[in-house]
Amino acid sequence: MNFFDRLSSGWTISMNSFSILKKNKQLIIFPILSGISLVLTAGVFILGILAVAGWNVEYIKTDNRVINYALLFGFYFINYFIVVFFNMALIHCSKLYFDGEEVTVSKGLQFSASRIDVILSWAVFAATVGTILKIIQENTGTIGKIVTGLLGFVWGITTFFVVPVIAYENLGPVDAFNRSAELMRNKWGESLGATFSVGLVQMVVVILAAIPVCLIAAYVNMFAGIFIGIMAGVTIFAVFSAAQTIFISSVYNNVTGNIDEHFNQQIIDSLFTAKK
């Protein structure tokens, strides 16, 4: 299957994901809660560092690498925990919908809370990997930065199925990573054709939203334009993030043999370049 065929299939799958989100609009709350939590976390970290520095920006910088990397690990850990917690809640709600059960935000949150131990374990593992990559990046030359960039890309591909794996399979973080990589390698290969279609849709939506926002800011009121732009940005982020997570949930269910009525097996298989 050539590039344009995969793009067409990716478009179909993406539209089905948006269709499911349209039928379950409450699911958009998960990426919003995740985003708010991440912003609050960043704020707490910044305020904490400022407080330790006596609220003097000039004293914030420290040459103690152990402290710097410990803070970085903590920041990564909290961020991974937040993202996985809400993504798992959304994935569970998606599964409830696929199974024909009632979908509620509380059910998703309760499920993630019941899996808090595996989420914590994965957050520690992912934060450790992220910190190691950052250390390598900062202490090597250009080649090291290229290598860590490639490793980061591979990490993103191989952890594609991690959230549903730790949600529904009784595996530790290392085994979950290997299981996710195995699913990707054996069933789908290494190229995600959906990236093109989702990126294309998102680009079109951003352009269409930016035009009226710029016009309002230029000819009506600058502050009104900025406010509307922020609201539009938050909405676009929430919608596409939710749709992407629904996509992952559906593909995982498909890969593990739990095929639902909303996605066609042949279309999903054609999304990815088979590994040769």
User: Which tens digit of pLDDT belongs to each residue from 6-24?
Assistant: 556 666 767 788 888 888 8
**What average pLDDT does range 212-222 have in this prediction?**
88
The answer to whether 92 and 107 are in contact (CB under 8 A) is yes
* Band of pLDDT at residue 260, cut at 50, 70 and 90: low
Q: How many CB atoms lie within 10 A of CB 11?
A: 17
Give pLDDT, residue 43.
86
Q: Compute φ and ψ for 166, nearest 5 degrees.
A: -75, -20
Whether the Cβ atoms of residue 243 and residue 41 lie closer than 8 Å to each other = no
CA-closest candidate to residue 15, choices 197, 218, 252 = 197
Cβ atoms of residues 251 and 267 within 8 Å: no
Mean pLDDT of the chain: 81
Instruction: State the sign of the Cα–Cα–Cα–Cα dihedral 38, 111, 242, 250.
Output: positive
Q: If pLDDT is split at 50, 70 and 90, which confidence band does 193 have?
A: low
On whether the CB atoms of residues 92 and 101 are closer than 8 A, the answer is: no
Q: How far apart are CA 270 and CA 12, in angstroms?
A: 11
**pTM of the model as a whole:** 0.82
List C-alpha distances in Å: 174 to 15, 75, 264. 33, 21, 31
Alpha carbon distance 35, 233 (integer Å): 12
Distance (Å, rounded) from C-alpha 65 to C-alpha 60? 13
- Return the SS3 of 151: helix
Q: Return all residues near 42 (Cβ < 8 A) that are at least 6 apart.
A: none
Report d(CA 163, CA 115) in Å as an integer. Answer: 11
**Alpha carbon distance 76, 124 (integer Å):** 9
| pLDDT for res 245 | 87
DSSP-based three-state secondary structure for 273:
strand
- How much is the pLDDT for 50? 76
Contact 247, 11 (CB under 8 A): no
Q: Check residue 10 and give its pLDDT.
A: 62
Is 80 exceeded by the pLDDT of residue 190? no
Residue whose entry in the numeric block shows the structure tokens 């890969």: 255
Task: Name which residue leads in pLDDT, 218 or 65.
Answer: 218
pLDDT at 195: 58
Q: pLDDT tens, 127-184?
A: 999 999 988 888 887 887 888 888 888 888 889 889 999 999 888 999 999 998 888 7
Tell me which amino acid residue 226 is.
I
Assign 79 a pLDDT band (cuts: 50, 70, 90): very high
pLDDT at 84: 94
pLDDT of 188 reads: 55
Q: How far apart are CA 192 and CA 186, in angstroms?
A: 14
